Amino acid sequence: DFTEMMRALGYPRLISMENFQTPNFMLVSEVLLWLVKRYEPQSDIPGDVETEQDRVFFIKAVAQFMATKAHIKLNTKKLYQADGYAVKELLKVTSVLYGAMNTQGGERADLPEEDSSKFKFDLGSKIADLKAARQLASEITSKGAVLYDLLGKEVELREARTESIARPLEINEAEKVMKIAINSVLEEVQKTKDMLSNVALDEASLEAKIEKRKLELERSQKRLQTLQSVRPAFMDEYEKIEEQLQKQYSTYLEKFRNLTYMEQLLDDHRRTEQEMFEEAANMLRLIQNRLKEEEQHLLKSGSKWD
């Protein structure tokens, strides 16, 4: 049962299936983040789920984390629904953690229920040990393959080594090889000296450019300070025009408010006239209907007298 597993793993809140009768994304995100931290405390999945984009990013990050770290495939659509279907996806993670907790020694199974609920299971260190073990196994396999190949060549190499050891050393050949090695080292030394001299030249050139840029920067700063301290000639006219514009804007606002008020009064007057016109039309219609009824009544009474 999901609620029992969460309680056994030490989840601080009480959970019931009634919490998932309606979509409850905040609870689902909280449980997911807690399970991820339970699986690997050093994980850096952000817990911000305020906007829709943040929620989508959060679900994708958790699903990718579980797929890469624990090889657990989660259905992101069902998790985003945050209802009863999401509980089935959460159960995939909780069942793994619950099963791992139950395998942590026989003494854990004999603990009372209250103590087992307080047990803090840290699977992150075990995952790190598992990764290190896999890496060491891979290195051992590769080293073993290389060693096997070298041992297969030992017969040929042994003969060549024995011949080389038995062959007398020739002074002239050794001197020739030493001269070639010395010349090679001298060439490398000369190349290194040339590179050092080039570095010194480049450094002097860069220092000259830096000094030039510093002088240009100082001149630009002095010019900027001079321009900031000088008041432009058009500022007086600009301030006067700005003051006039402010007055014109105040007048415009007043006239606009008056116009809006007058338009509202006109609309109310038209509405009142329309209502009065409709009322008069209704009264006229009633009078016409009454006259027609009286005329028909008179015609009927006249026909009786005849």
Lowest mean pLDDT among 61-70, 253-262, 283-292, 297-306: 297-306
Confidence band, pLDDT 50/70/90 cuts, at residue 113: very low
Is residue 121 scored above 50 in pLDDT? no
Q: Report whether 96 contacts 123 (CB < 8 A).
A: no
Predicted local distance difference test score (pLDDT) of residue 78: 85
Is residue 108 scored above 70 in pLDDT? no
Is residue 5 scored above 80 in pLDDT? yes
Average pLDDT score over residue span 6-30: 83
Mean pLDDT rounded to a whole number for the chain? 82
Predicted local distance difference test score (pLDDT) of residue 19: 79
Distance (Å, rounded) from C-alpha 260 to C-alpha 280?
30
Is residue 115 scored above 60 in pLDDT? no
List the alpha helices (DSSP H) in 10-112: 25-39, 52-69, 76-81, 84-102, 106-109
Average pLDDT score over residue span 70-78: 84
pTM strictly above 0.85: no
Predicted local distance difference test score (pLDDT) of residue 303: 67
Distance (Å, rounded) from C-alpha 93 to C-alpha 70?
9
Residues 6+ apart with CB under 8 A from 278: none
Predicted local distance difference test score (pLDDT) of residue 38: 83
**199-213: per-residue pLDDT in tens?**
888 888 889 999 999
Confidence band, pLDDT 50/70/90 cuts, at residue 265: very high
Confidence band, pLDDT 50/70/90 cuts, at residue 245: very high
Predicted local distance difference test score (pLDDT) of residue 112: 46
Confidence band, pLDDT 50/70/90 cuts, at residue 110: very low
Return the percentage of the chain with pLDDT > 90, whole number.
Answer: 23
Is residue 222 scored above 50 in pLDDT? yes
Confidence band, pLDDT 50/70/90 cuts, at residue 169: low
Highest mean pLDDT among 36-40, 161-165, 268-272: 268-272
Predicted local distance difference test score (pLDDT) of residue 306: 57
Distance (Å, rounded) from C-alpha 75 to C-alpha 67?
11
- Residue in the structure block whose two tokens are 């073990």: 133
Pull the structure tokens for residue 126.
């075990």
Is residue 107 scored above 70 in pLDDT? no
Distance (Å, rounded) from C-alpha 243 to C-alpha 241?
5
Confidence band, pLDDT 50/70/90 cuts, at residue 304: low
Highest mean pLDDT among 47-51, 225-229, 285-289: 285-289
Which is more confidently placed, 62 or 103? Answer: 62
Predicted local distance difference test score (pLDDT) of residue 74: 86
